[in-house]
Amino acid sequence: ELKVEQNPLFLSMQEGKNYTIYCNYSTTSDRLYWYRQDPGKSLESLFVLLSNGAVKQEGRLMASLDTKARLSTLHITAAVHDLSATYFCAVSGGSNYKLTFGKGTLLTVNP
Amino acid sequence: NAGVTQTPKFRILKIGQSMTLQCTQDMNHNYMYWYRQDPGMGLKLIYYSVGAGITDKGEVPNGYNVSRSTTEDFPLRLELAAPSQTSVYFCASSENRGLVTFFGQGTRLTVV
C-alpha cells in the first residue's frame, strides 16, 4: 500500500524567512506532485516531478525529487503572506494516474 | 473552457437520504476521479474511471457508487447517507499522460 507522509503538518513562519516541507513516500512511484489549497477552495497544481534529481521552481517555491530516498522537498524562499495556504504532496504510479495524498502542511506566514 | 464542473457546491442531507453529485469535464479527458477530503486527512480516492464504461474502486468506496456512460460525465451516487459521509468531495480529471490533474471546485456535503 502506497503511503505518503508530509512534515511538518503545521508551519508558522515569519515573512522573509526560508523553510522546507518534506514529503516521504513508501513505494516506488513514477511521479510526484505538489498542490496548493486556499481555505474553502479547490486544489491548484504547482509542480509535477518525473525523475530522480528533478528540480522545478516557480517564484519563491522550489520543489525537488530524490527517488532513491523516496523524498521530495518544497522549499520556500523569503516567505510572503500570500504563500499562506495548505500544501499537499501526492504520488501516483501505474497507468491510471490515481493520486495518493499526504495529509497536507498548513503554512501560515506572519508579517 | 470550463474545466471540471461540480454541482451542487453545498448540500445538507438527512441520514438515509440519497443524492447524486454531478461532475462534468469539457477537456475530453479519459481519466476521472472522485476524492473526499476530511479535515487534516488529505484527500482519499473513492472511485475512478479510465474511460467511458470503465470504473473501479479506490481507497474508500463503501457507501458510494459511480457510473461513466460518457467521456464528459462522472456522477457519484450516495444511496443511504450517513454522518460519516460528511466531507468535501472533489471530482478531478487527468489528461492522457497524467502530468496534470484538474480538480473541480468541490461539493461540501453535510449529513445530519
Q: Convert the pLDDT of each residue in B78-95 to its tens digit.
A: 999 999 999 999 999 998
pLDDT at A95 over 80: no
pLDDT of residue B1: 64
CB contact under 8 A, B43 and A92: no
How far apart are the C-alpha atoms of A4 and A23, rounded to whole Å? 7
In this predicted model, what pLDDT tens digit does every residue of B9-49 receive, in sequence order? 999 999 999 999 999 999 999 999 999 999 888 999 999 99
**What is the number of alpha carbons within 13 Å of residue A24 lying toward its C-beta?**
6
CB pairs under 8 A between A and B: 55
How far apart are the C-alpha atoms of B66 and B78, rounded to whole Å? 9
Which residues, at least 6 apart from A104, have a Cβ–Cβ distance to it below 8 Å? A6, A9, A37, A86, A87, A88, B40, B42
Chain B hits for A48, Cβ within 8 Å: 99-100
Chain B hits for A50, Cβ within 8 Å: 99
Edge-to-edge strand list for the sheet holding B64-66: B4-7, B19-25, B76-78, B64-66
B76 confidence band (pLDDT: 50, 70, 90) = very high
How far apart are the C-alpha atoms of A72 and A33, rounded to whole Å? 9
Quickly count: other Cβ atoms within 10 Å of residue A48's Cβ: 21
Nearest-Cα residue of chain A relative to residue B57: A98
pLDDT at A93 over 80: no
Asked if A58 and A45 count as a contact pair (C-beta separation under 8 A), the reply is no
pLDDT at B69 over 70: yes
Q: Is the dihedral of CA B39, B43, B46, B49 positive or negative?
A: positive
pLDDT of residue B2: 79
Give me B11's grid cell: 448540500
